[in-house]
A and B are shown apart, each in its own frame.
Chain A
Amino acid sequence: GAVVSQHPSWVICKSGTSVKIECRSLDFQATTMFWYRQFPKQSLMLMATSNEGSKATYEQGVEKDKFLINHASLTLSTLTVTSAHPEDSSFYICSATAAGEQFFGPGTRLTVL
């Protein structure tokens, strides 16, 4: 099946720094990628929909200037958490669609000190 990878898998950073998370579709091209955030034992919260070559569509309540999304190619989307704060600590998961199916990445655990 299709594989989606994320890098890094785990990151710890100081408050005020920026962190970039990469999402790659390894064996297929994905015109659309999704970014989710998961709080403990809660649903995946959709943050934004990323379309290759165009601006991302953010869900209500998600700050687009804080969570920068770039979908530069058909196999790569990046999420940059700018000026991270402890409340941004969470599990960030991306997914990519291919032939109508959605494939999820393994997630990135962000801890902001």
Chain B
Amino acid sequence: GQNIDQPTEMTATEGAIVQINCTYQTSGFNGLFWYQQHAGEAPTFLSYNVLDGLEEKGRFSSFLSRSKGYSYLLLKELQMKDSASYLCAVMDSNYQLIWGAGTKLIIKP
């Protein structure tokens, strides 16, 4: 079956760095997405990786290793507003999105 795994919850301190991991097993691969979702709001697109390597966008970076079925989202200089759920989703060979359950990130002062 198809599966996306990410931690349920993580806690980090304001100003620090946190890495949210995502591992996947899917039927084919057409890219991996990271979304941020604040409670009660629609998910916001953060990144899309289809090739191996690191993509950096300001305080957020996303890494992909297709051979390992692994990605991570790196958040630097954490701010209180970064408290949210972070969703990992993989598009399979049929262009279907397989969603992770999301990681709830709690930022403490």
Cβ of B98 to closest chain A Cβ, rounded Å = 7
Q: Give Cα A107 to B97, complex, Å.
A: 6
A-B contact count (CB 8 A): 39
Cβ of B8 to closest chain A Cβ, rounded Å = 11
B45 & A104 in contact (Cβ 8 Å cutoff): no
Q: Give Cα A27 to B48, complex, Å.
A: 30
Q: Which of the four size classes fits the interface of chain B? A: 10 to 19
10 smallest A-B Cβ distances: which pairs? Answer: A106-B96, A43-B45, A46-B42, A104-B99, A107-B97, A43-B44, A44-B43, A41-B48, A109-B95, A106-B97
Instruction: Report which A residues bind B (CB closer than 8 A).
Output: 1, 9-10, 34, 36, 41-46, 91, 93, 102-104, 106-107, 109
Instruction: Report which B residues bind A (CB closer than 8 A).
Output: 35, 37, 42-45, 48, 87, 89, 94-99, 101
